[in-house]
Structure 1
Amino acid sequence: MLFVNKMCRVVLIAMSGVLVTACSSMSAGNLFSNYSAQNKPVYQAVQQGNYVDAQQELPDYRAGDILDNMEKGRVNFLASAYPASKTSFELSDKAVREWQDQPLISLSETATSAGALAVNDNLTSYQPADYELGFLHLYLGLNYIKINSLEGALVEMRRANQVQERARKAREAELRSAESDMKKSGLSPNLGSVLSRYPDAGDKLKAVQNGYLLYLSALLYETQGDPNSAYVDYRRALAVAPDNKQVIDGTLRVATLLGMRQDLALLTKQYGPYQPLPKGEGRVIIIDERGVVKAMDDWQLTIPVNDSRGNLALYSVSLPYYHDNEAQRFGSLQLDGRGISGDELVDVNLMASNQLTEKMPSILLRQVLRVVTKDLVRRETTNGNDVGSILFSVFNTLTEQADTRSWQSLPEKVYSSGATLEAGTHELVASGKPYQFEVREGQTTLVWLSRQGSNVTIWHKQLGAIE
């Protein structure tokens, strides 16, 4: 018994430096559990549309200021707690800027990386994906729209577009390769890609460029009276969502306003002529967020490792992956008693899966290095003792957790639909809940809604009335 206690102390002392690092970078629970498991109560509450329950399940601290505040901002937005949502997103944005301003090699990052090699990747600081940064600015922009600040919303759209452009340039070679493959397959060019000079890369482009963000940005620039900037983003949105009717209509509308004769000839040939707004009517644009993006799970296996002395040790290996679950289904919206269909703007699952695919080579490399590091530590601390090896294997099994961190309260997909309606009061029914809004002659009314489970959050703005 004394010998076992001695070996326990040896193992704990050997890992003490790692544990200190762990405690400084994440909560104790994260050492023995992955993010998806810990966030499950919040995720399930959002998935079921229980927004208030999700608010109550939000922790004070779980994954750091960037991701924690992304989740808080989104959940509060769904719960119509808009001031709290804006504050949380601003805190996340501040944390992102601090992370981006760090030197490439910092003492804290070196320490957490070393700890991650000995324990798991959850010890590293969270680095948000490009698509998550885009959504951060998008939801900050929506918060500004809620308080009628067009200027604030456009600042966030510009910042989001900078993220989009960096993401595209970083993957230029992959996008061009995908474009080449499509041409070899005999697929005709996407007109939006031609007009915007974007690679015609099909789903690969959709995986790195957010059509929702581009369309909203174009709509806001048009509202501001900046058709040139609006046309840039409409063309980009058309490259990503070439079959979206609202994107097509917006591109035609602004191209007509700007007198882009060559572009109009191409657009009209493919989509038909622009239909101006009839007298006495207004335009309604509906943004329809649906469901919740998939959360990563962890896949675990045990591998045996023999050292030079012939001693056997078992090591747990854990990798993140996405389940191939069936998409959530939602009924059609009813506008003034008539069903309306929507066209996809963005598939967030596609963007999230692409992000994991891009990260997987580095994840696998770190996993191999971790096994080597743990085996080295085991040999140095146990000196071939079987009891020590067993204790080390237990510690390894308990702490080997896949890094499943991601922004899990984002929507699964986003659609848009639209109509031209007579000025006056109209009704939209979503998830069985009626919502009334005003349409003004010659103006655009934006109706935003997000549906999860049997619940819906919905609001509208007269775009011509925000400043």
Structure 2
Amino acid sequence: MLRTFCIGLTLSLGLSGCAFNSVFVNYPSQIAPYKQQLNSDSPTAKITDLADNISGNDGLLYAQESGRIMQIAGDFTGSKTYYQQAIDDYQIFDDKAIVSASKLGAGASSILLNDNAIPYRGPGYERIMLHQYQAFNYLFSGDAQGALVEVRRSNELQSMEQARYQKSQKSVQDMANGTIDAQVAQLSKEAGNVTSSFLNAYSYYTTGLLHELASEPNDAFIDYRKAAQITPDNVYLQQDLVRLAKQLGMPQYDEFKRRWGEAVMPTPDQGQVVFIIERDFVPEKQSITVPFPLNGNIQSASLATYQPQRLLMNNSQIQGLGTPLTAQTIANIDALAINALKEDLPAALFRQAARIYAKYQMNRSVQSSSQRANNQVDAAAMVMQIFNVITEQADRRSWLTLPRQAQIARQFIDAGSYNVRLNSSQNVNIDVKPNRTTLIWAIETGNRTRFYSIII
């Protein structure tokens, strides 16, 4: 029986295929060296090592990370290639109408191992961000139309992901568990006013901005308004709505002017600067132990959660444009991540309960079939204990090179050259041209800030 059990264990491990890394080594520790590299002068030095994992079960995740690292480094062409691989993987998930052999294998091994054996399909907010970032790749490569295609797709996905989530929740059994209830309450507190993982004001704002830059003010107004419904206190969004309502002669103009003040319109010799500022990294998932009662005994399992986070410093300060400019938050990506985990916890709890029961039954089977030889019972029990310990890993996978927060700032100023500084960063020179927009994308990764700008 011990030999049979070991054969089954080997088969289970084999079915998990290239998922070995995350099954036995938590994902945050795998990606930590690459995040640290982003604070150096050679952020892509180890990118080949990371990209080599794209063919495995977590390939979609590694493609997202590789694309983001290349993008932060300013290699928009290389980033575009990796992001397209991730987009293609998402499409495969969408198109798969029948259970393939690989999916069946992953499902079987995940029952005995852990959720890390399931091929990674990112939560909705990651997929939305993927298309938004692909749009930035197109935009900063000079292809504004390609960028518009990507942000329109990100908008469509916000509705699709909401529908998918609602459908998935109907099929999840409601299970009472005090530890999980406490974690849900804690996650809700950490997420603050953000109540959904798939409604992203940052993506809506980006779409609106690109529509406006493409001389499509009506479409821009619609997306700015969607963003403002999610982040209603952002003064730059308010100013955009007042300005476009006046420009388009909309009936909402009087209401907006009463609420947010008169529209600020540019003079003929002015251009505008738009700052998009990304700060820090999204937090890593942590592991918690969840007790399960089973036939009078308490079994334990590991699930992922987020621990309370330190507060970020005040809004970013921009110097060098004459009057100091204060950026404001457009989206807290960490809150989207926290909500995504909270939305998945019922399904994760159900999977863990099934896994504990399967391991319990396996343990009973090993013991009952080995009663004839005490030494075989001891060996089987020891193997089973080792198996349970090494496979009890919470699924801590997530896109960890995403920013924790995004801020925006916008101002009309006289044409000319400006020496701009963001917080305590080094100065950067930008040019402003009449009736044109200078878009500055600032990415803060720990102790380093990188600037990318384009005049549109």
TM-score range, shorter chain: 0.7 to 0.9
Structure 1 unmatched runs, 5+: 1-5, 174-201
Instruction: Say yes or no: does 1:348 pair with 2:337.
Output: no
> Which of 305, 316, 337 is matched with 1:321 structurally?
305
The TM-score normalised by the length of structure 2 is 0.85
Q: CA deviation at 1:166?
A: 2.1
Segment of structure 1 superposing worse, 265-274 or 248-257: 248-257
Structure 1 residue identity aligned to 2:256: L
- Structure 1's 166 and 342: CA in aligned 2 closer, same or farther, altered over 3 A? same
Instruction: Say yes or no: does 1:277 pair with 2:261.
Output: no
Instruction: Say yes or no: does 1:436 pair with 2:425.
Output: no
Segment of structure 1 superposing worse, 155-164 or 99-108: 99-108
Q: Deviations over 1:412-459 (max 9, x none)?
A: 000001222110101211342111111011222111111111211211
Aligned residues: 422
> Which of 376, 379, 394 is matched with 2:364 structurally?
379
Supply the distance in 1 between the matched residues of 2:103 and 2:450 (Cα, whole angstroms).
39
- Structure 1's 406 and 444: CA in aligned 2 closer, same or farther, altered over 3 A? same
Q: Contact (CA 8 Å) 1:206, 1:346: kept in 2 or not?
A: no
Supply the distance in 1 between the matched residues of 2:306 and 2:39 (Cα, whole angstroms).
16
Q: Contact (CA 8 Å) 1:140, 1:156: kept in 2 or not?
A: yes
Per the alignment, residue 225 of structure 1 pairs with 215
- Structure 1's 56 and 454: CA in aligned 2 closer, same or farther, altered over 3 A? farther
Q: Contact (CA 8 Å) 2:236, 2:409: kept in 1 or not?
A: yes
Per the alignment, residue 354 of structure 2 pairs with 369
Structure 2 residue identity aligned to 1:213: S
Supply the distance in 2 between the matched residues of 1:344 and 1:50 (Cα, whole angstroms).
29
Supply the distance in 1 between the matched residues of 2:199 and 2:193 (Cα, whole angstroms).
10
Q: Is the partner of 2:418 in helix, strand or coil?
A: strand
Supply the distance in 1 between the matched residues of 2:46 and 2:407 (Cα, whole angstroms).
24
> Which of 406, 410, 417 is matched with 2:409 structurally?
417
Q: CA deviation at 1:300?
A: 3.7
Supply the distance in 1 between the matched residues of 2:108 and 2:57 (Cα, whole angstroms).
18
Supply the distance in 1 between the matched residues of 2:98 and 2:340 (Cα, whole angstroms).
21
Per the alignment, residue 111 of structure 1 pairs with 105
Supply the distance in 1 between the matched residues of 2:274 and 2:366 (Cα, whole angstroms).
65
Structure 2 residue identity aligned to 1:161: N
- Structure 1's 127 and 229: CA in aligned 2 closer, same or farther, altered over 3 A? same
Q: Contact (CA 8 Å) 1:47, 1:291: kept in 2 or not?
A: no
Supply the distance in 1 between the matched residues of 2:264 and 2:71 (Cα, whole angstroms).
35
Q: Contact (CA 8 Å) 1:46, 1:54: kept in 2 or not?
A: no
Structure 2 residue identity aligned to 1:438: D
Supply the distance in 1 between the matched residues of 2:196 and 2:299 (Cα, whole angstroms).
38
Per the alignment, residue 192 of structure 1 pairs with none
Structure 2 residue identity aligned to 1:437: I
Q: Is the partner of 2:288 in helix, strand or coil?
A: strand
Q: Deviations over 1:17-52 (max 9, x none)?
A: 2112112x42x3333222123222223444789734
Q: Is the partner of 2:451 in helix, strand or coil?
A: strand
Where do residues 43-442 of structure 1 align in structure 2 (5 Å cutoff)?
A: 43-46=35-38, 51-52=43-44, 55=47, 58-61=50-53, 64-103=58-97, 105-169=99-163, 203-204=193-194, 207-261=197-251, 263-300=252-289, 317-329=301-313, 332-336=317-321, 339-382=324-367, 383=369, 385-430=377-422, 431-442=424-435
Q: CA deviation at 1:305?
A: 6.3
Structure 2 residue identity aligned to 1:265: D
CA RMSD for the aligned pairs? Answer: 2.7
Q: Is the partner of 1:401 in helix, strand or coil?
A: coil
Structure 2 residue identity aligned to 1:422: D
Q: Deviations over 1:362-390 (max 9, x none)?
A: 11111111011012122223425233122
Supply the distance in 2 between the matched residues of 1:302 and 1:34 (Cα, whole angstroms).
21
The TM-score normalised by the length of structure 1 is 0.84
Q: CA deviation at 1:204?
A: 3.9
Structure 2 residue identity aligned to 1:298: S
Q: CA deviation at 1:304?
A: 8.8
Q: Contact (CA 8 Å) 1:218, 1:231: kept in 2 or not?
A: yes
- Structure 1's 30 and 167: CA in aligned 2 closer, same or farther, altered over 3 A? closer
Q: CA deviation at 1:302?
A: 7.6
Runs of 4 or more off by more than 6 Å in structure 1?
47-50, 301-307
Per the alignment, residue 174 of structure 2 pairs with none
Q: Contact (CA 8 Å) 2:195, 2:339: kept in 1 or not?
A: no
Structure 2 residue identity aligned to 1:378: N
Structure 2 residue identity aligned to 1:227: P
Supply the distance in 2 between the matched residues of 1:322 and 1:54 (Cα, whole angstroms).
28
Q: Contact (CA 8 Å) 2:39, 2:447: kept in 1 or not?
A: no
Q: CA deviation at 1:322?
A: 0.9
Supply the distance in 1 between the matched residues of 2:79 and 2:404 (Cα, whole angstroms).
20
Supply the distance in 2 between the matched residues of 1:442 and 1:38 (Cα, whole angstroms).
47
- Structure 1's 224 and 141: CA in aligned 2 closer, same or farther, altered over 3 A? same
Supply the distance in 1 between the matched residues of 2:291 and 2:139 (Cα, whole angstroms).
51
Supply the distance in 1 between the matched residues of 2:306 and 2:90 (Cα, whole angstroms).
25
Q: Is the partner of 1:419 in helix, strand or coil?
A: strand
Segment of structure 1 superposing worse, 162-171 or 68-77: 162-171
Structure 2 unmatched runs, 5+: 168-191, 371-376
- Structure 1's 21 and 315: CA in aligned 2 closer, same or farther, altered over 3 A? farther
Q: CA deviation at 1:247?
A: 1.4
Supply the distance in 2 between the matched residues of 1:424 and 1:127 (Cα, whole angstroms).
47
Supply the distance in 1 between the matched residues of 2:57 and 2:37 (Cα, whole angstroms).
19
Q: Is the partner of 1:203 in helix, strand or coil?
A: coil
Q: CA deviation at 1:74?
A: 0.5
Q: Deviations over 1:327-357 (max 9, x none)?
A: 3447633234754211111101100000000
